[in-house]
């Protein structure tokens, strides 16, 4: 498993948002992009996905920007990564959702596959047990 820049930047940006914004005081995308050294265009794509997933919202107009829709303790790292389009799949050994580019038809009968499936579950469990509040 290798997380792409999308996942790395999504987590960095949302942590910046969680620590520096609120509904009453939204944070402008260009400020986050500058402070976190992320392309504003790329960050806009990421925030589009996070908005669609219901993790963040935008306030338009003068003084506008983005803010979290939920408390930082209610948003897991897994929520952010999945919303950004990241996959924590590490091997083609477990049943995948329809349309996945990886799959193994023998995952149930393969001893080695059981290791990879267990490891993936551990990673997903770790990411789902950590919230944004844990890193603020």
Give the pLDDT confidence of 39-91 residue by residue, as tens digits.
999 999 999 999 999 999 999 888 889 999 999 999 999 999 999 998 888 77
Please state the pTM of the whole predicted model. 0.84
- Higher-confidence position of 67 and 95: 67
Provide the pLDDT for residue 103: 60
- Name the pLDDT band for 111 (thresholds 50, 70, 90): confident
As given in the structure block, the two tokens for residue 35 are 């402070």
Map tokens 């990879």 to a residue: 116
Distance CA 136, CA 131 (A): 9
Question: Does domain 5-135 correspond to CATH entry 1.10.10.10?
Answer: yes
Task: Name every residue whose Cβ is closer than 8 Å to that of residue 66 and which is 6 or more positions away in sequence.
Answer: 17, 21, 26, 27, 28, 29, 32, 47, 56, 57, 58, 59
Q: Residue 56 carries which DSSP code?
A: E
């Amino acid at each position: 498993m290798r997380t792409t820049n999308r996942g790395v930047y999504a987590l960095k940006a949302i942590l910046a948002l969680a620590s520096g914004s609120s509904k009453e005081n939204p944070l402008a995308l260009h400020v986050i992009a500058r402070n976190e050294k992320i392309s504003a265009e790329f960050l806009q794509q990421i925030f589009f996905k996070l908005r669609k997933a219901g993790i963040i919202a935008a306030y338009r107009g003068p003084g506008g920007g983005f803010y979290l829709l939920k408390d930082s303790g209610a948003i897991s790292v897994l929520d952010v990564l999945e919303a950004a389009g990241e996959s924590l799949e590490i091997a083609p050994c477990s049943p995948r959702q329809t349309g996945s580019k990886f799959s193994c038809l023998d995952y149930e009968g393969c001893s080695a596959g059981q290791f990879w499936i267990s490891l993936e579950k551990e990673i997903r469990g770790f990411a789902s047990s950590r919230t944004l509040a844990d890193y603020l």
